[in-house]
Amino acid sequence: MTRFEKDLKDALEENEIEVLTRRQAEIDSLSAEGKRCKNGFRRQCIAQDLARLKKEYNLISENF
């Protein structure tokens, strides 16, 4: 079971605010790290992670 599946299951069990808050904090942290990063390859990896996390965040929030 992936972290997304665990978070989705947890959100469906009435903990959606905690899950969304935790995921938003992670998105904000990665976004700040991406802005500070000078390594192009690392920045590209961070951008891919951000895109995946934002997509998952939107999928979880659409259920509520």
Tens digit of each residue's pLDDT (9 = 90 or more) over 17-38: 898 999 999 999 999 999 999 9
Tens digit of each residue's pLDDT (9 = 90 or more) over 47-62: 999 999 999 999 988 8
- The reported pLDDT for the residue numbered 29 is 95
- The reported pLDDT for the residue numbered 44 is 95
Distance CA 30, CA 62 (A): 22
Q: What angle do CA 56, 5, 37 make, to 5 degrees?
A: 45
Residue 39: pLDDT band (50, 70, 90) is very high
- Taking the domains of the chain in order of start, what are their residue ranges? 3-62
pLDDT over threshold 90, residue 13: no
Task: Please give the model's pTM, rounded to 2 decimal places.
Answer: 0.86
23 neighbors 7 (Cβ within 8 angstroms): yes
